């Protein structure tokens, strides 16, 4: 359990959140968000426990996440179309249709 493995776990959860946009399944974003939250909790309580500015950095990160969530809600269809255009045709055919 070194820090690289925990960071990799966080990246996998971020990938789950991106996958939720493509598959149109909210469960992936919920569990991906829980994984990222647990990694940030680990950073807060273990790695940066004596850092003075880390709580402020987490606050800015939290406000940014709320802002990005509202942007996604407003532009979700455009974001989905953009991500679908990045995929090859063989993968695009496997995605669920509306």
Q: What is the pLDDT of residue 35?
A: 93
Provide the percentage of residues in the chain whose pLDDT is more than 70. Answer: 98
Structure confidence by residue, pLDDT tens digits, 47-90 = 888 888 888 888 888 898 899 889 988 998 898 889 888 888 88
Q: What is the pLDDT of residue 65?
A: 85
Question: CA–CA distance from 71 to each of 22, 46, 47, 57 (Å)?
Answer: 17, 32, 31, 21
Structure confidence by residue, pLDDT tens digits, 33-56 = 899 989 988 888 888 888 888 888
- Name residues whose C-beta falls within 8 Å of residue 18's C-beta, 6 or more positions apart in sequence: 83
């Amino acid at each position: 359990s070194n820090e690289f493995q925990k960071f990799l776990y966080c990246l996998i959860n971020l990938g789950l959140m991106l996958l939720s946009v493509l598959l149109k399944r909210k469960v992936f974003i919920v569990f991906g968000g829980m994984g990222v939250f647990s990694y940030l909790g680990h950073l807060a309580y273990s790695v940066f426990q004596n850092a003075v500015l880390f709580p402020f950095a987490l606050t800015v990160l939290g406000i940014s996440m709320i802002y990005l969530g509202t942007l996604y809600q407003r532009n979700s269809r455009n974001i989905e179309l953009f991500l679908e255009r990045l995929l090859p045709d063989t993968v695009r055919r496997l995605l669920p249709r509306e």
